[in-house]
Structure 1
Amino acid sequence: MKLVDLQSAVMKKYKCLVSINQCARARTQSISEFEQGMKKHYDKLWDYGEEVRRTNPRSTLKMSVEANPDGKTYFQGFYICLQGLKEGWISGCRRVIGLDGFFLKTICKGVLLSAVGRDGKNQIFPIAWVVVNIENKENWTWFIDLLKEDLSLNDGVGTTLISDQHKVHFHAFFASL
């Protein structure tokens, strides 16, 4: 929000005149508090995973973290494949999987990797997704290995992959064959 718009909104709502500097400080503090809240959400991933497991039995949730010598634990990835989506893809979707990655541009940077299918009405059908710290061959391999296990793809015969032409997807898919 532009500072002059913030100043105008304060005047309209509270009938109070504030300076541009006050608005700038308030906006900076507000953004800082929001960003701290976003970081705290990563601390809740374990609880979130347990709640998803409790409410969606037989769903697959995997957390990947790395313990460094400095004593801190660093997030690497969080994989989700809900049981209903597994069953839906296996029983009612074409044997086509679209793979893609999207950069997360919030304070908590990362990449969302997704696998989607097409149902009988040619509608997009989500299968599984993972949030990882960086898009690389190791993370794609981790994601695809878990996906192959969840969907019982074995060697992948009869399954078509569609991608945005990143070779890393296909290397990851065939790496464990």
Structure 2
Amino acid sequence: MPESQPPPARILVVDDDPEIGALLAQYLGQQGLQTVVAGDGDGMRAALAAGTFDAVVLDLMLPGEDGLALCQQLREQTALPVIMLTARGRPADRILGLEVGADDYMAKPFDPRELLLRLRAVLRRQAPVQAAPAATAEVARLRFSGWILDPRTHLLQADDGRRHLLGETDFSALQLFLRHPDEVLERDFLV
């Protein structure tokens, strides 16, 4: 029996500019992604309550609650990848967006093709944990204290679903400690 195709990724776009919402819905739809557009925080919460999504594209400057507050809410409640898409492109704004939990940050004006590539990148980082066959995934993963570290993706996942994508240094250090449990490791060995 042939393997069925996975359903298309579902993207939630939260932007108060109807033209940008329509442009993204059309373009991402042509690229095989299902897209739902919300104009503010209430619309975002309603969309999340009504269905599941694989990623969120979030404007920073929204009526009512701003994108930073919404990103923090998303981080507290979900492991959804968030790409901020905003007219605020100064380095301080990008840093703040990433600090509150965005996975990526793009300044307007933007090229929809670049946004598509960034979306595919965050979706790829999510996919191995969700779609890996159990037998091969279990061999590669390292388990400890209610957490699972996937060496292939650098994704650290808690039993309760929280996820953290580790940078190279953090990943290397954690993997080293996990592969040498109950051992005192000398500084020279760690370096």
Normalised by the shorter chain, which TM-score bucket?
under 0.3
Higher strand share: 1
Please give the TM-score of this superposition, normalised by the length of structure 2: 0.25
Larger radius of gyration, structure 1 or 2? 1
Please give the TM-score of this superposition, normalised by the length of structure 1: 0.27
